[in-house]
Amino acid sequence: RSAVRFYQALGFPLLHGGENEPFTSFATGASFLNLTVETQGPVNWWGRVIIYVSDVDAMYRKVLATGFPPAFPPRDAPWNERYFHVRDPDGHELSFARALNPARDGVTTSTV
C-alpha cells in the first residue's frame, strides 16, 4: 500500500482505489498500472513494467526525490533505449525508458 504514495509522487493519475483499498488503478499514458493486495499464499513471480517517458533523466530525478534509489543512473542501451530501473516500495521492478530514435521505431511515450 505504500506503493500508492510512490506512484502518486511520480505523477501517475489515480483512477480508482487508494492507500487503504485492496485494488488501485493508475493511468499511464493510454495504459493502466494496477496494484492489488494478495492474501492467498506466497507470490513467487518476477516481472518488470517498462514505461516509456519523454524525458528519462527528468523521471530519474523525480524517482530520486521519492527516496527509492534506482538500480543505476540512466544509460543508453545497444537496443536503442535510454533507461533505468527502480523497485517500488512493494518490490516490483519498473523500467523507465525512451527510444533513442522514436521516429524510426514508432514508439510512443507516457504523459507521466
**Which is it for strands 48-52 and 31-36: parallel, antiparallel or unpaired?**
unpaired
Q: What is the pLDDT of residue 29?
A: 84
Enter the C-alpha cell of residue 21: 483499498
More confidently predicted of 10 and 40: 10
Residue of 50, 51, 16 lying closest to 36 (CA atoms)? 16
pTM: 0.76
Enter the C-alpha cell of residue 53: 517517458
Q: What is the mean pLDDT of residues 47-70?
A: 92
Angle between helices 2-9 and 56-66 (to 10 degrees): 140
Quick one: which H or E segment has residue 14?
strand 14-16
Q: What is the pLDDT of residue 10?
A: 92
Q: What is the pLDDT of residue 36?
A: 82
